[in-house]
């Protein structure tokens, strides 16, 4: 595994719910041909499959809580292996959610060369999620769950940013700007990798 993906760049994309991670990742895929792996999307696909594991996951996600670490990591790892031969880079979107998840990822897969910190204000994230909830069909895009997800983000994920800042790989991106301007900064951070 480590062999297979050793030449690929690994980028962690971290930010609160509704900060714009998915939106920016899509644009990176279009411009750079990276593989986008959203831990949330992988988990939601498992739920949609109707499997027993999916049913357990659904209950956890509906409460706005974090899914057990090994489950998420195994799913990301399998998806990375599947794309290893064709991928120049991987966008790991929405992971790590807590410092421990980052440590386990590095043990089992590899080290990130960049962490894109997609930063928006709490009130902006709530507004965007309420709007997204009108059409997303996501069980967690409702006011009560949004509040829990935000609280958990500040408590569990902000330490992730501190942890990787000390390693010098964090680029903070102002996601209050219009989508294309945000992407300008994202692209700059990726271009600086070369
Ligand atoms: N810079 C921006 N300006 C305005 N709206 C934005 C934005 N970035 C994203 N959005 C919108 C698109 C979605 O409906 C919603 C949440 O974006 P998202 O990419 O799904 O976030 P995340 O993946 O971080 O949860 O906000
Ligand atoms: Mg997303």
Cα 111-93-65 angle, rounded to 5 deg: 110
pLDDT of 112 reads 97
Write out the DSSP string of 117-179.
EEE--HHHHHHHHHHHHHHH--TT-SHHHHHHHHHHIIIIIHHHHHHHHTTT-EEEEETTS-H
How much is the average pLDDT of 154-168?
A: 95
- pLDDT by residue (tens digit) across 145-157? 999 999 999 999 9
Q: How many residues does the chain have?
A: 194
State the CATH number of the domain containing residue 161. 3.40.50.300
pLDDT of 57 strictly over 60: yes
State the burial class of residue 152 (Cβ atoms within 10 Å of its Cβ: 0-12, 13-18, 19+): middle
Is residue 133 in contact with ligand 1, taking CB distance under 6 Å?
no
Q: What is the pTM of this model?
A: 0.93
Residue 92 lies in a domain: yes
Give how many domains the chain has, as a whole number.
1
- CA–CA distance, 26 with 151 (Å, rounded to integer): 26
Residue 191 lies in a domain: no
Question: If DSSP codes are grouped into helix, strand and coil, which group holds residue 91?
Answer: strand
2 pLDDT band, cuts 50/70/90, is low
Measure 3 CA to ligand 2 centroid, in angstroms: 29
How much is the average pLDDT of 177-183?
A: 98
Measure 135 CA to ligand 1 centroid, in angstroms: 13
ipTM of the complex: 0.95
Mean pLDDT of the chain: 95
Is residue 124 in contact with ligand 1, taking CB distance under 6 Å?
no
Are 116 and 13 a contacting pair, CB within 8 Å? yes
Measure 23 CA to ligand 2 centroid, in angstroms: 7
Is residue 17 in contact with ligand 1, taking CB distance under 6 Å?
yes
Is residue 39 in contact with ligand 1, taking CB distance under 6 Å?
no
Residue 5 lies in a domain: no
67 pLDDT band, cuts 50/70/90, is very high
Rg (CA), the chain: 16
How much is the average pLDDT of 125-152?
A: 96
Domain that holds residue 90: 10-186
How much is the average pLDDT of 109-124?
A: 97
- CA–CA distance, 33 with 45 (Å, rounded to integer): 22
Is 167 annotated as contributing to ligand binding?
no
Residue 1 lies in a domain: no
Distance of CA 113 to the CA centre of its chain: 15
């Amino acid at each position: 595994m480590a062999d297979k993906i050793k030449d690929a760049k690994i980028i962690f994309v971290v930010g609160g719910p509704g900060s714009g991670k998915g939106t920016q990742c899509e644009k990176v895929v279009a411009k750079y041909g990276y593989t986008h792996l959203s831990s949330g999307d992988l988990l939601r696909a498992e739920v949609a499959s109707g499997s027993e594991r999916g049913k357990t996951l659904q209950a956890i996600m509906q409460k706005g809580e974090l899914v057990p670490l090994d489950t998420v990591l195994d799913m990301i790892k399998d998806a990375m292996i599947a794309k290893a031969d064709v991928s120049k880079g991987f966008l790991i979107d929405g992971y790590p959610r807590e410092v421990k998840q980052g440590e386990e990822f590095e043990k089992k897969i590899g080290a990130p060369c960049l962490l894109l910190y997609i930063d928006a204000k709490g009130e902006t994230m709530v507004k965007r999620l309420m709007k997204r909830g009108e059409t997303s069909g996501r069980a967690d895009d409702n006011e009560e769950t949004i509040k829990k997800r935000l609280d958990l983000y500040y408590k569990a994920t902000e330490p992730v940013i501190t942890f990787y800042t000390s390693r010098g790989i964090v680029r903070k991106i102002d996601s209050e700007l219009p989508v294309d301007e945000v992407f300008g900064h994202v692209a700059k951070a990726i271009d600086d990798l070369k």
